[in-house]
Amino acid sequence: MALIEYRDALNQAFAEEIERDSNVVLMGEEVAQYDGAYKVTKGLWKQFGDKRVVDTPISEAAFIGMGIGASMLGLRPVIELMFWSFCTVAYDQIVNNAAQIRYMSGGLINCPIVIRGPANGGTNVGATHSHTPENWLANIPGLKVVSAATPYDAKGLMKTAIRDNDPVMFMENTLLYGEKGEVPEEEYLIPLGKADIKKEGKDVTLIAHGRAALTALKAAELLAAEHDIDAEVIDLRSIRPLDEETILASVRKTHRAVLVDENKPFCGVSAQIAAMLQEKVFDDLDAPVLRVTSLDAPAIYSPKVEPKQLPRPQDVIAKVLSIC
């Protein structure tokens, strides 16, 4: 296994899928000649040329809509949003076209696209650039929503997302692009809808996705070292479809759950999972389901303050200690 960066894991996924399927085309702002705003697509334009790696003007509605239209004819566009925050200017195309075209055509038309890019706060770029729209999108039947925490997951999930025949919204994280992790040399795929138990435990279940899964892992380490609490950490990886079984089985075992979510609390991903837990494993619970989310205000810029707005290990630990 090679130790590579998250961005390179994604890069490998693109290169392999471009080679495998002539219908795969990468597009977005700066993805080609500039090598990507975060160098996620580095070298791909040089390797594959203008046809497969396409720079677009700053016209999110048009190039996402174009990708959707092209997918109806069988292409598999993989479209980068420089920030997922910018989906707002293309929201109509995503919500009304990508998500509804199959349904409204009675199943006659497919939309096999991937829209991808970073969706995170924590980089002092202010509220307009720090949205976590996974809940906005997971709220729309017809869309799939994926979030990768590690290089291994990023590559395996991306390859699956590209091969999937439904529109997949793929959430990455600028704070993770430079993180390294083990990635196998040989090809592998990670199914959508399968959570990963990142750490086994018996006392409490921490449920998270994206970078929050790493925060939960850190908290679990400290809980074990300092409080003798054995936390299980579940990384959802895929939000829609959701691996309900793994979540429920874990909570049935530990009888306690704390959700860790960089999404906002109101109608956030964690709210959905909390609702599910009270409905399906109420009798197994020994304590209320608690949540650690981003603080419920627009993302503050101030570099010394913003970190407090996102879930930190100590916030998770405090919640866990209140119920364990």
Determine contact, residues 117/10, Cβ cutoff 8 Å: no
Residue 123 C-beta: closest distance to other proteins, Å: 27
Determine contact, residues 104/236, Cβ cutoff 8 Å: no
Instruction: Specify the residue, 51 or 304, whose C-beta has the smaller distance to other proteins.
Output: 51
Tell me the residue type at 267. Answer: C
Tokens at 95, concatenated = 């919500």
Q: How far apart, in whole angstroms, are the C-alpha atoms of residue 209 and residue 188?
A: 21
Determine contact, residues 231/201, Cβ cutoff 8 Å: yes
Instruction: Specify the residue, 64 or 212, whose C-beta has the smaller distance to other proteins.
Output: 64
Residue 240 C-beta: closest distance to other proteins, Å: 7
From residue 40, give the alpha-carbon distance in Å to each of 19, 67, 97, 300, 315.
17, 19, 27, 26, 31
Q: How far apart, in whole angstroms, are the C-alpha atoms of residue 125 and residue 8?
A: 24
Q: Among residues 5, 17, 29, 60, which one is catalytic?
A: 60
Q: How far apart, in whole angstroms, are the C-alpha atoms of residue 237 and residue 100?
A: 24
Instruction: Specify the residue, 25 or 217, whose C-beta has the smaller distance to other proteins.
Output: 25
Residue 190 C-beta: closest distance to other proteins, Å: 10
Q: Specify the pairing of strand 2-5 against strand 180-183.
A: antiparallel
Q: Among residues 5, 129, 179, 209, which one is catalytic?
A: 129
Residue 29 C-beta: closest distance to other proteins, Å: 12
Q: How far apart, in whole angstroms, are the C-alpha atoms of residue 148 and residue 175?
A: 12
Residue 146 C-beta: closest distance to other proteins, Å: 11
CA-closest candidate to residue 163, choices 63, 24, 67: 24
- Give contact residues for other proteins (rule: CB under 8 A): 25, 51, 56-57, 59, 61-75, 92-93, 96-97, 101-110, 112, 141-142, 144, 160, 164-166, 191-194, 238, 240-244, 272, 276
Catalytic (active site) residue 227: no
Q: Which residues are catalytic?
A: 60, 129
